[in-house]
Amino acid sequence: MHDATKRLIEIRAYKLKPGEAAAFHDAVLNTVMPMLRGVMDVVAHGPSAHEIDTYYLVRAYADLADLEAQQAAFYGADAWRLGPRESIVSRIDSYLNTVLWLSPDAVEDMRRLNAP
């Protein structure tokens, strides 16, 4: 059951291959974000302010089952697998995910404070 008093936030931090940050950001802005925003709640994304080869993606979900279902649908779809997947994945050295619960107000603050 969906609890409107909290949102599950996934923070994904990417360590990019050296020299790939600008091309990665361009691909995310022009290709990936239009695809993701059509099916997921993207709260924030962009280059990290502290390290040139680091990028972040923050998404909000109702719960862990919602996260798993949305990501399975997106990353398993031909539009991703046969589309921009390789141009994105080839620029990533590694990534780390973590999830935490936030209030809807905190999610909106994160969205507002990190808007491009």
Domain boundaries, the chain: 8-106
42 burial via Cβ count (<10 Å: 0-12, 13-18, 19+): middle
**Per-residue model confidence as pLDDT tens digits over 6-36:** 999 999 999 999 999 999 999 999 999 999 9
CATH code, 8-106: 3.30.70.100
Q: How confident is the model at residue 2 (pLDDT cuts 50, 70, 90)?
A: low
pLDDT of 3 above 80: no
**Residue 80: what pLDDT?**
95
Mean pLDDT of the chain: 94
pTM of the full structure: 0.92
Q: Where are the alpha helices (DSSP H) in 38-103?
A: 64-76, 78-81, 85-89
d(CA 17, CA 11): 19
Q: Pick the more confident residue, 98 or 37.
A: 98
pLDDT at 47: 95
| pLDDT, average across residues 83-98 | 96
